[in-house]
Amino acid sequence: MISRAWRLMFAAAAMVLAGGLSAVQAGPVETNIFAVQGVPVDVTSTDAAAAKNQALMDVQVKAFFILVERLGSAQIAGDLAKLKPGDIAPYLKSLSIEQESSAPGRYIGTFTVRFMPDKITKLLTGYGIRVPTQQASPIIVLPVYRDATVSQLWEDNIWRKAWLDLHAEQLLVPLIVPLGDLEDTGTMSVEDALAADPIRLEALRRRYGAQSLLIAIAEPAEGGGLHVMISGETMLGKVTFDKVYQGEDKTLPGAATAAVQRVYSALTTKYKDDEAKLAANGGGIVSQSISVSVPFASPTQWNGIRSRILATPSVTGVDVSSLEVNGAVIRLAYTSSLELLQQNLQRTGLSLSQVGVNWVIQPL
């Protein structure tokens, strides 16, 4: 007999599915860490209705363990493997279709599944996990794939696909892979990305509303696998990867997937550690900001100054208000006293001083 929880979920799912099984719908844009996007199911049963019902149960269970592993750990997900579908249903908030199709006795779909924040938080707290109350600051990823014949930024390739398949826009540490539409391709070429052109990188940051950006280069390694080189300054600190990754299946697509997952795991661990330290220190640090002028002699110098500002302890944001050929005006957010901010900037080789009524940052 189907439990009351499952009857309620079938009723809700029926409303979602009322538009017909052959439709292809765009997935919703999620803004919280308790939603899991891009969850696939492929179920074969005695008839289409039975396949659909089984798929609705399967996708919720699958998404639940994805979320537990994402916010907690693989070990916790393993400990909870004994839970039955009926035990998981009360944690569910809603679900919606991203794509679907059906055939006699078969249902194929991709779903976004949302869970109850309070219940998931309570569950993980019992395992000693503190679930962050908000996402990290988003990071743009520019995936450049190159081999002996070509370098690619916007074209379809195994490296770009691996980042897109991560579906990381709304994970704990949001990663944004630019669309690659006409505006993107007109702004940034693969040569610009490899040269880390500061003006063009700034244009992408402004378009996608992200202060941090990583240039992720991958190329086939001589001994097999994928040589990955990633660099950039983020709100999590300086990010550097230079390593060869192998996939379990010994293929280049498998290596790309393994590399992306390990890089993302490292970013998530860093964010969780930072959040835990913040909580241990009392949390609730109030951010403040000031308008600062940043003169520079060249785009390369601006790129270096910006990176050092982002790497400065207590700095939480660098919002570019205007950018000219010889200087920028930024909104500098920080969580310390102004005096401590000046000391921290000095340690990174920068001077923050007041010139008349204006604040100015310059290299020492």
Average pLDDT over the chain reads 83
Q: In one letter, which amino acid is 199? A: I
pLDDT tens by residue, 168-215:
887 788 899 999 999 999 999 999 999 988 888 888 888 887 878 999
Give Cα 163 to chain centroid, integer Å. 10
Statement: 288-363 belongs to CATH 3.30.70: yes
Angstrom distance (rounded) from CA 96 to CA 26: 10
Q: What does the pLDDT read at residue 219?
A: 96
The pLDDT of residue 246 is above 60:
yes
Beta bridge partners of 47: none
22 pLDDT band, cuts 50/70/90, is very low
SS3 152: strand
Q: What does the pLDDT read at residue 167?
A: 82
23 pLDDT band, cuts 50/70/90, is very low
Angstrom distance (rounded) from CA 35 to CA 113: 6
- Annotated domain spans of the chain: 4-125, 139-280, 288-363
Do 41 and 55 meet the contact criterion of CB atoms below 8 Å apart?
yes
The stretch 125-141 carries a mean pLDDT of 83
pTM for this one?
0.61
315 pLDDT band, cuts 50/70/90, is confident
User: Do 139-280 and 288-363 share a fold?
Assistant: no
HSE of 36, CA atoms in CB hemisphere, 13 A: 24
Statement: 139-280 belongs to CATH 3.10.20: no
- Count the Cβ atoms, other than its own, within 10 Å of residue 148: 6
Of 358, 228, 210, 215, give the one whose Cα is nearest residue 294. 358
